[in-house]
Amino acid sequence: MKLNAIKIRFISYIISWVLFLFSIFAIWFLPLNLWIDMTGWEKIEYSYTHELDLDKFKSEVKSFTEEFDKKNNWIINNTQSYKVAWENTVVVVAWFDEIKNTKDISLEDLKKQYKDELTMKLWTEFSEDNYTSIWKSFWDYIKNTAFLTLIVAIISIALYIAYAFNWHVAGISALSFATITIITLFHDVFISSGLYIITSSILPEFQIDTFFITALLTILWYSINDTIVVLDRIRANLKVYGGRGKSLEVIINDSVNETITRSIYTSLTVLAVLLSILFFGPETVKGFVLVMVFGTIVWTFSSIFIASPILFELNKNKILKKYEEPKDED
């Protein structure tokens, strides 16, 4: 039984719009669960002179942070404390939810209070060895650069598609294919982002970091790779059957059915690898992998159920003509 992607296109549009609206809500209204490299943070290294109970040290850091955080309008998102192996050195890392609130506190006071509290509670003399501080400007730079990179990548890919499909066959121009490329790439990246943000708000271990940005750029490549197979098959069939009795709907549906097995098998292979890494791989890349899992599902759906129907919508009123090879000019 053949799939009729054009006949069920309105169901596909509804599914896509529901996912799109959920993504809009997630991106604009849910608090972003940012990792340390995406927000303001500070890192303090202390050396100590006497024996140290590491569990008690961590407990005191957590207790003092909660007390300090409460007094300063819950500015600190989280803290991490640990001991450097083979050294009498401990590290405290604190990162922040709202950087603007740091204007109301003194970071020098925060450092001093950490040191004084730890010395008093643990009966051990601490001295500050190293201090590192990065603020919101870094996250703003990453965010703005990533946004610009995504836009430039989408437009560049669309321009290349317009060039590669630079002929008129059956009355359908290369502009149609370029337009679909922009729509589907934006669709896949936006929805993948929204689904991940929703997940990260429920499961805090999945945070937004630089791997998240890398995953979105990777999704662009896989998405266009999958979509271009379907579009190229449509183009090839238009050259053969355009103006020879087959309607545009039949040509598009035949093209989708000729490529759907390849698309699904390729995506299932990618998903198998991604899910293996997600469940058995290192913690540091699980956020990246989860974004890719969402991206794989979304780009497979869009290449089959969104790209082809939109091509039909843009050209359904056009009269198909027979393809003629371009004549060489002397």
At 148, is the pLDDT very low, low, confident or very high (cuts 50, 70, 90)?
A: confident
Residue 325 corresponds to which tokens in the numbers above?
A: 């090879």
Q: What does each C-alpha distance from 270 to 33, 81, 291, 316 come to in angstroms?
A: 27, 37, 13, 34
Q: Are 296 and 263 in contact (CB under 8 A)?
A: no
CA distance 58 to 80: 8
Task: Write out pLDDT tens, residues 82-107.
Answer: 777 778 888 877 767 655 444 555 56
Give the least confident one: 101-110, 168-177, 227-236, 310-319. 101-110
Domains, the chain? 9-34+138-315 (1.20.1640.10), 41-134 (3.30.70.1430)
The pLDDT of residue 69 is above 50: yes
The rounded Cα 300 to chain-centroid distance in angstroms is 16
- Stated as kind and residue range, the H or E segment containing 79 is strand 76-83
How many DSSP H helices and E strands does the chain contain?
A: 9, 4
pLDDT of residue 137: 61
The rounded Cα 59 to chain-centroid distance in angstroms is 35
The rounded Cα 10 to chain-centroid distance in angstroms is 27
At 321, is the pLDDT very low, low, confident or very high (cuts 50, 70, 90)?
A: confident
Q: Are 132 and 43 in contact (CB under 8 A)?
A: yes
CA distance 278 to 272: 10
Look at 198 and 46; give whichever has higher pLDDT.
Answer: 198
The rounded Cα 119 to chain-centroid distance in angstroms is 43
Q: What is the DSSP string of 189-252?
A: HHHHHHHHHHHHHHSTTS-B-HHHHHHHHHHHHHHHHHHHHHHHHHHHHHHHHTTTT--HHHHH
pLDDT of residue 169: 65
Q: What does each C-alpha distance from 280 to 99, 107, 219, 286 come to in angstroms?
A: 35, 40, 22, 9
The pLDDT of residue 299 is above 70: yes
At 167, is the pLDDT very low, low, confident or very high (cuts 50, 70, 90)?
A: low
Cβ density class 229-240: b for 16+ within 10 Å, e for less:
bbbbbbbebbee
Order of strands, edge to edge, in the sheet holding 41-48?
76-83, 89-96, 41-48, 126-134
pLDDT of residue 134: 67
Maximum distance among all alpha carbons in the chain? 93
pLDDT of residue 267: 92
The pLDDT of residue 74 is above 70: no
